[in-house]
């Protein structure tokens, strides 16, 4: 195949996130079936996770995050051409959520659609939106991930410690004349149906992993390393050109396996997993908003984000951080 | 906004469809709660509809249809870059169906994702795939709709007369040197969350329409007329340039309303609704395969397809028919 690195010039001009009003710490979380030893709690590594309330459905959280992203892009929802909503933790036959998100935003001329792709949904959405923006008819897209991951944990299970709710959004624009915004350098999407059965949902709606956690961590890390290496190689870059790796957080075990698989100094991987839990497809924009607000991730930094998801999906994106208006999240 | 008609040169090089082994006629269909008068049965207008068996899941039907489409394109699944599966009638949290469809097809290097968009899913998928093919990395996509619509009808309800199962697929390719295949001239996608609540699914999984059938028919026809007119106008064409209108079939009432809304001679609208029922997002490729096999739709014909779906979605595509290997469906 011919060598075709990079995307056309797509800019990340806005970024926003949203966490539920109710953030459970380990003391307020409803008790587990079996008490957990402090050492195990440390190993799980989550101190806080959100539980969305009745006013914080998938569509509403998506709108809160997307509005913040639009505000920072200085963009009006009425000028959006595309809205992609990623969510797998609340599913219904119909209607999809995206048309409602577009309506609530006031994105009157946009078309909109839902995307699943489990925890890899956000990067899948970013990749697809970037290609839509090649069409001269489309100029501006919102990709927003909104997940009620907590609802997929069996009450009383250790999953309730890990799984949290939240939303995060990018505004993507075909490069404006001024070249503002971070640049989406390139992305890579993959899937492997061989592993379709390793994560399923019980009839009651709880997540059920059908392979050992250790195997899952290794598969996740291997998949993330593969798409990341392919992406970097195509763009004549290596990990030394990357300021930060901001992966989908998964679990502490997955994060450790990624560090090993990429042979990366642990301090170059950023997640805010400890303070939000696993927010599934929203994890990357939620973490990015957090670390930009903290001043840790700065304009000009080069970020590699990668995610895996039950399906089996793998995805990666390489992008730079642009000048952004101040975040609306607490640092 | 600037005037940007048309897509880049995307060809429809393959087309395939699949209907279940079990096709119920009105005599074999399980009895309704209340017997139906012959006049009402005629007005419903469906003589036959498929009920997918245990070996005909959403993924399996998709694979049958996609293989037929690939065979007619003379393409190998291993050369696919993208697989988009549209389905809303079987939903689960995870895994999605598309990675399994890609695996069963042998599309080893493709990325794949599911798309909902209700009955408008296939045209949404065609539009999105056509933009993905702008990236020089991607050359060939399959968009396949696979629906078990019959499962969304309450047993004993009149819905069981209308709703049927099936799958249909396009192979789309960035234009090869020889310019073979029908050309996707352009497409138009839209949504309106104002109408998100008009079709819902009961807790038992049955479809429930919350507005009067007459209103639904008018809304469907108005939406189809709007996207169709916008699409035609952008491409400096009118309905007189179109050989056939092949819409999502919906119901007989929707079809009649489309004829009125487009002010079109009824004989220029083609659906095979009577012999397959409402197969949701699969309806357009299923009908196209049927009418090409019959010799009614011929190479060089210009087709306008349009669809609406609960969400609320509307979509249209304008394309020409290319030379195709003989269909694998019975004429």
Q: pLDDT tens-digit profile of B56-94?
A: 999 999 999 999 999 999 999 999 999 999 999 999 999
Q: Please check whether residues B136 and B58 belong to one and the same domain.
A: yes
Query: Rounded to whole angstroms, what are the CA distances from B144 to A106, A286, A319, B43?
Result: 31, 33, 32, 30
Is A94's CB within 8 Å of B103's CB?
Answer: no
In a domain? residue B5: no
Question: What is the extent of the structural domain holding B119?
Answer: 10-174
Q: Three-state secondary structure along chain B? A: CCCCCCCCCEEEEEEEEECCCEEEECCCCCCCCCCCCHHHHHHHCCCEEEECCCCCCHHHHHHHHHHHHHHHHCCCHHHCCEEEEECCCCCCCCCCCHHHHHHHHCCCCCEEEEECCHHHHHHHHHHHHHHHCCCCCCCEEEEEEEEEHHHHCCCCCCHHHHECEEEEEEEEEECCCCCCCEEEEEEEEEECHHHHHHEEECCCCCEEECCCHHHHHHHHHHHHHHHHHHHHHHCCCCHHHCCEECCCCCCHHHHHHHHHHHCCCHHHECCCHHHHCECHHHHHHHHHHHHHHCCCCCCCCEEEEEEEECCCEEEEEEEECCCCCCCCCCC
Q: Is the pLDDT of residue A185 over 80?
A: yes
Is A93's CB within 8 Å of B91's CB?
Answer: yes
Is B118's CB within 8 Å of A88's CB?
Answer: no
In a domain? residue A290: yes
Percent of chain A with pLDDT over 90: 93
How high does pLDDT run on average in chain A?
95
Compare CB distances from A131 to B114, B134, B309 and report the shortest one's residue. B134
What is the average pLDDT across A93-102? 97
In a domain? residue B330: no
Q: Please check whether residues A65 and A211 belong to one and the same domain.
A: no
Catalytic site residue from B117, B191, B278, B290: B278
- Read off the CATH number of the domain in which A66 is found: 3.40.47.10
Whether pTM > 0.80 for this model: the answer is: yes
Q: At what angle do helices B283-293 and B121-132 cross, to 10 degrees?
A: 90
Number of folded domains in chain A? Answer: 2
Query: By the 8 A CB rule, do A24 and A49 touch?
Result: yes
Percent of chain A with pLDDT over 70: 97
Is B134's CB within 8 Å of A135's CB?
Answer: yes
All residues of chain B having their beta carbon less than 8 Å from the beta carbon of residue A116 are 94, 96, 113-114
Q: What is the ipTM of this complex?
A: 0.97
Work out the minimum CA distance from B327 to partner chain A, whole angstroms: 29
Q: Which of residues A174, A206, A234 is at a domain's end?
A: A174
What pLDDT is stored for residue A331 in this prediction? 53
In a domain? residue B187: yes
pLDDT band at A1 (very low <50, low <70, confident <90, very high): very low
Work out the minimum CA distance from B258 to partner chain A, whole angstroms: 22
In a domain? residue A326: no
Catalytic (active site) residue A278: yes
């Amino acid at each position: 195949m011919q060598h075709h690195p990079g995307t056309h010039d797509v800019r990340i001009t806005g970024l926003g996130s949203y966490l539920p009003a109710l953030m459970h710490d380990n003391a307020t979380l409803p008790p587990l079936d079996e008490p957990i030893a402090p050492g195990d709690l440390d190993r799980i590594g989550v101190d806080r996770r959100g539980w969305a309330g009745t006013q914080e459905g998938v569509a509403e959280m998506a709108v809160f995050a997307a509005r913040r992203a639009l505000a920072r892009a200085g963009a009006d929802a009425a000028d959006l051409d595309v809205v992609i909503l990623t969510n797998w933790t609340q599913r219904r036959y119909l209607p999809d959520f995206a048309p409602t998100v577009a309506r609530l935003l006031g994105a009157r001329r946009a078309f909109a659609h839902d995307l699943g792709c489990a925890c890899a949904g956000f990067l899948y959405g970013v990749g697809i939106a970037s290609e839509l923006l090649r069409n001269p008819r489309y100029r501006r897209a919102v990709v927003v991930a909104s997940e009620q991951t907590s609802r997929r944990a069996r009450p009383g299970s250790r999953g309730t410690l890990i799984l949290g709710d939240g939303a995060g959004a990018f505004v993507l624009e075909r490069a404006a004349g001024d070249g503002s915004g971070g640049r989406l350098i390139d992305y890579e999407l993959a899937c492997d149906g061989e592993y379709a059965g390793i994560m399923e949902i019980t009839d009651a709606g709880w997540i059920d992993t059908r392979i050992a956690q250790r195997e899952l961590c290794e598969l996740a890390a291997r998949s993330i390393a593969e798409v990341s290496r392919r992406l970097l190689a195509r763009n004549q870059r290596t990990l030394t050109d990357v300021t930060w790796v901001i992966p989908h957080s998964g679990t502490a075990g997955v994060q450790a396996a990624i560090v090993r698989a990429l042979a990366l100094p642990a301090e170059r991987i950023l997640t805010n997993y400890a303070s939000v839990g696993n927010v599934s497809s929203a994890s990357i924009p939620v973490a990015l908003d957090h670390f930009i607000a903290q001043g840790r991730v700065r304009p000009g930094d080069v970020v590699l984000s990668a995610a895996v998801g039950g399906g089996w999906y793998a995805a990666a994106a390489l992008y730079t951080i642009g000048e952004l208006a101040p975040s609306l999240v607490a640092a």
